[in-house]
Amino acid sequence: MGFEQWWLKELSESERTEILSTFHPMGGDGRLLIMSNKLSNQNCSHFLSILAGWFKASNRDLGYKILHKAEDDLDYNSTILDQHLTYNALIEFYYRDRDKGQRYLDKALESCRKQISISKAAIREFQKQENYFLPGHRGFHQLSVYEEKQKNYKEALNLVKQAQADGWQGDWEKRRERLSKKLASYKV
């Protein structure tokens, strides 16, 4: 289902109104962006993941509804960077609600793994950009935090080592040292 169909059929009038009254990118009027550029059938998962972010602190149910559409759109002509950024938003949203139920944690971890699975391809795409740098990688970070909390120190350490070797920004060396110590003391 394209964006226009989703916008008109899957969202209620009150949800559309709330989106239009809440979304003000860079201080501008989000209506223009939504109405002029996004009501086509083009892939818009990255746009939707940004839009969902406007509902992190308010109507999280609407944010989830937007994210579900973003994730659905990943199957249709999305670029690797669209996928990377959409998984980033999914991880952030779902992990924040992990205490609300297992499905939230499961979805966050699944999104971490999916983002990690495209890591090398994402790096290649970032490298194509002028003045590129690799940002942090939420998938590696969040999954390593989770594994550490589960006392799966070896798995957490492997994730940290991979992220560091790939060049993603982060406090990988500090985390690596801490996990190495935990792993050594855990084996004793």
Residue-by-residue pLDDT tens, the chain, 188 positions:
677 788 889 999 999 989 988 888 776 666 665 665 454 444 588 888 989 999 998 899 999 999 999 998 887 678 899 999 999 999 999 999 999 999 999 999 999 999 999 999 999 999 998 888 899 999 999 999 999 999 999 999 999 999 999 999 999 999 999 999 999 987 65
pLDDT of residue 29: 64
Give the C-alpha separation, 24 to 77, whole Å.
27
Q: So what's the pLDDT on residue 36?
A: 54
Q: What are 120's two structure tokens? A: 């090398």
Name the token pair of 172: 């990988």
Q: How many CA atoms lie within 13 A of 164 on its CB side?
A: 14
Question: What is the pLDDT at residue 43?
Answer: 59
179 part of a folded domain? no
Taking the CB of residue 101, how many other CB atoms lie within 10 A of it?
10
Q: Report the 10 Å Cβ neighbour count for 92.
A: 18
The answer to the question of residue 94 being in a domain is yes
Rounded CA separation 114/145 (Å): 16
Per the structure block, which two tokens stand in for 174?
């500090």
Domain contains 171: no
With vertex at residue 57, the alpha carbon angle to CA 56 and CA 61, rounded to the nearest 5 degrees, is 60
Q: Residue 179 is encoded by which pair of tokens?
A: 């996990």
Q: Is residue 128 part of a domain?
A: yes
| Predicted pLDDT of residue 170 | 95
* Domain membership flag for residue 155: no
Taking the C-alpha atoms of residue 166 and residue 124, their distance in angstroms, rounded to an integer, is 11
Total of domains in the chain: 1
Residue ranges making up the domain that contains 37 = 3-133
143 within some domain: no
- Rounded CA-CA distance 121/128 in Å is 11
**pLDDT the model gives residue 39:** 43
Enter the tokens of residue 84: 């990377």
| Distance of alpha carbon 128 from alpha carbon 139, whole angstroms | 21
Residue 146 forms part of a structural domain: no
Please, what's the b/e burial string for 14-24 (b: 16 or more CB within 10 A of its CB; e: otherwise)? Answer: ebeebbeeebe
Examine residue 26 and state whether it is found in any structural domain, yes or no. Answer: yes
